[in-house]
Structure formats: structure tokens, C-alpha cells
Amino acid sequence: MKVTVRSLDMVGRRMVPLFWALLIAVPMAVAQQTPPDYTSLAKETNFVLKDFSFVSGERLPELRINYVTWGEPQRDKAGKITNAVLLCHGSTGSWRLFSTCEVIQ
């Protein structure tokens, strides 16, 4: 195969779209941030109710409710917290399952 200026020019013209695609795609990939590690940002604690009685009349000497918070509460003028979300799940799993969910802003 004989290489000529014309054949090099044709190859070069075919490479231009690829060059521009790479030029645009690389900065976009670099600009994407990794999501925060919500598990490490969590503050885990529990709430304890002493001498808890159920509607059925059964009693527990102590009922522990484990919970996790992220961030700080923000209150309105009336003192109500405005940025809280309560997530109740009936599983015996860990809250860590929910900390890996993607947050849509």
C-alpha cells in the first residue's frame, strides 16, 4: 500500500470526530464527583424507654430504639425541625443498607 498525502489527509479527517469526542468526554469524566460516604457521616445512638407497656398489656422493662442521624437539625421560627426524614423499616437488617443509597439532589 502506497502512503500518499491524500491518504494521510483522509485518515486525519476521520480522526477529527474521535479527537473531539475524547476532548469533550475526558473533562466530563474528571468533573464527576464521587458520592460522599454516608456511612462514615452517620451519628448512631439509641433511645431507651423504661417500663414500656404494649396495648396488649405486656410489658418490657426496657425498650431500645436504635437510630442514626446525618447533619444537624434546622429549626423554623416555631422551633420545629424542618430538615428531618424518618425512615421506618421493618427489617432485622442494619441501617447501613440505607446509607449506601444514591441521593438525588
Instruction: Tell me the per-residue pLDDT of 74-103, one tens digit each, with 9 for 90 and over.
Output: 999 999 999 887 777 666 677 777 666 655
> Is 42 found in the same domain as 91?
yes
| Model confidence at 66: pLDDT above 60 | yes
> Is 87 found in the same domain as 65?
yes
Model pTM? 0.50
Residue 104 lies in a domain: no
pLDDT confidence bin for 59, thresholds 50/70/90: very high
By residue range, what is the domain housing residue 5?
1-32
> Is 93 found in the same domain as 57?
yes
Helix H or strand E encompassing 39: helix 38-41
DSSP state of 14: H
Report long-range pairs for 28-36 (Cβ below 8 Å, ≥24 apart): 35/102, 35/103
pLDDT confidence bin for 8, thresholds 50/70/90: very low
- Indicate the length of the chain as a whole number: 105
Considering its fold, how many domains does the chain have in total?
A: 2
Residue 20 lies in a domain: yes
> Is 87 found in the same domain as 58?
yes
